[in-house]
Amino acid sequence: MLPLTTGQIREIVQGALLHGSPQYTVTGVAIDSRKVKPGDVFVAFVGEKVDGHAHVDDAFRRGASAAIVTKNVETNSADGAVIHVQDALYAMQMLAAHERSSFAGPVIGVTGSNGKTTTKDMLAAVFGVKGPCLATVGNHNNELGLPLTILERKPEHQSMVLEMGMRGMGQIATLCEIGKPTAGIITNIGQSHIEILGSQENIAKAKAELLEAVPGDGISALNRDDAWLVKMADRASSRVLWYSLESEADAYATDVQPRKDGISFTAHVLGQSHTVALPMHGRHNIANALGALVLGAAHGIPLPDMADALQHMKTTGGRLQVKQGLRGWTVIDDSYNASPISMKASLSAMKDIAAGNPTVAVLGDMYELGDYAESGHREVGAYAAQLGMDLLIAIGPMGAWIAEAAREAGCRDVVHFADKQQALEQISELIPADATVLVKASRGMQLEDVVAVLTPDNSGADS
């Protein structure tokens, strides 16, 4: 963040100076006293297990210039300012909004039911062509994480890519108020969070808050293959660019070729064409790449440079990572999260990766589907059978629906485990040699434990 005095911070967060001078200089933000760097402001949050107010002195010992608190605290520090506010989260958001207001480069908001993190990684690679790009790290895509991301800005950053998560109406709008995106992309509208929002239409409306926030002179990129996004496009006041796997659009792909180390295609973007080789598998990742490419091209980045950046990009862990397992297994770690849309996309990708070898799908429960839970799990089971899985292993209470639907659709070899522990004890004995194995479920299932059993030495990862 740009340097501020403690007096300026007090004004921005509308707080009261309880201790110390308004002239100390602040150059960063921390919410964990153990990670405080000299010059930081430490924001004391009250959590379920830890109260940050108990660590204010520790933060000052580590060099903090200030602490933002919601309780009256006493400190032994002679060199730190204590600023009292009513709401620590709101104070963080106001600091981030102030930081954002001083940034003149492009700010890209990214949301969608599936693929937003991969698309964020691709956008960071693409915009990184022009200079350092600040992008969301890990799960910092919520009302606390997004401000933390913005406050990581350094003078050399030329652009920002902000992932925006959502669990209810108004949340993306709030994130946009802080991040003020100049461009946005929505990857798709799925069924995740349907138990909270009640319908896929409401999910679409909540995601479309990003469209409504992008200004008239901005750019919005939308997936034309998603019917809900086509319906929501009129909510945009900005220019809309379309990308598609199914038809010609502002960005589309031809000559798709699965490869051992990923997938290649010819990208046609705003009148330019160039071959792109992605270091990841799955046709759905071509769609994600097209979205990143069309936004990059609209910002004047040459297509060949963007293609090179995508070829060498780093991806977030747990997403279609190909690893070498025991007994000649090729294990696809896609354990980070799951929904019916992403399950089917990953199953299709596995068929390409397997290249004729035996295919094994290890699929667990998908959460937050509400009334769609049974039909969503059955849809996945039927699709796995349609693709001709050699073995389907379902895990968890809702996994029973996957297994039942797969059997009904003709999958000959189906096993269901009631919980992960049962699966861990037996799964290695079930998988044939030289099989390609997909492991996927919602984050809460923690199926990375299954991946660890199948790949005790993960140093052989391909991606």
Domain 321-456 is in which class?
A: alpha beta
Pick 131 or 368 by higher pLDDT. 131
pLDDT band at 454 (very low <50, low <70, confident <90, very high): very high
pLDDT in tens, 155-169: 999 999 999 998 889
> Domain limits of the chain?
4-86, 103-311, 321-456
Residue 315 predicted with pLDDT over 80: no
130 burial level (CB within 10 Å; 0-12, 13-18, 19+): middle
Domain 103-311 is in which class?
A: alpha beta
CB 311 within 8 A of CB 265: no
Domain 4-86 is in which class?
A: alpha beta
Residues in the chain: 463
pLDDT band at 460 (very low <50, low <70, confident <90, very high): very low
pLDDT value for 318: 61
pLDDT band at 109 (very low <50, low <70, confident <90, very high): very high
Angstrom distance (rounded) from CA 235 to CA 91: 31
Q: Mean pLDDT throughout 101-124?
A: 95
Q: At CB < 8 A and 24+ separation, what contacts does 216-222 make?
A: 218/181, 218/182, 218/183, 218/184, 219/182, 219/183, 219/184, 219/295, 219/298, 219/299, 220/183, 220/184, 220/185, 220/186, 221/183, 221/184, 221/185, 221/186, 221/291, 221/294, 221/295, 222/185, 222/186
Angstrom distance (rounded) from CA 355 to CA 259: 10
pLDDT in tens, 392-425: 999 999 999 999 999 999 999 999 999 999 999 9
pLDDT band at 304 (very low <50, low <70, confident <90, very high): very high
The pLDDT mean for the chain works out to 94
Residue 345 predicted with pLDDT over 70: yes
Q: Which amino acid is at 147?
A: P
Residue 227 predicted with pLDDT over 90: yes
pLDDT value for 245: 95
pLDDT value for 461: 42
Which residues, other chains included, contact 125 with Cβ-Cβ below 8 Å and sequence gap of 6+?
292, 306, 309, 310, 312, 313
Pick 282 or 383 by higher pLDDT. 383
CB 52 within 8 A of CB 33: yes
Opening angle at CA 222, ends 377 and 225, nearest 5: 50
Phi/psi for 110 (5° steps) reads -125, 125
Q: Mean pLDDT throughout 66-71?
A: 97
**The dihedral formed by the CA atoms of 269, 275, 280 and 283, expressed in degrees to the nearest 10:** 60
Q: Mean pLDDT throughout 248-271?
A: 94
pLDDT band at 390 (very low <50, low <70, confident <90, very high): very high
38 burial level (CB within 10 Å; 0-12, 13-18, 19+): exposed
pLDDT band at 261 (very low <50, low <70, confident <90, very high): confident
Q: Mean pLDDT throughout 433-462?
A: 85
Q: Mean pLDDT throughout 339-352?
A: 93
SS3 277: strand
pLDDT value for 457: 66
Angstrom distance (rounded) from CA 379 to CA 175: 33
* Predicted model pTM: 0.86
pLDDT value for 167: 83
pLDDT value for 459: 42
3-class secondary structure per residue, 282-329 = CHHHHHHHHHHHHHHHHCCCCHHHHHHHHHCCCCCCCCCEEEECHHHC
pLDDT value for 196: 78
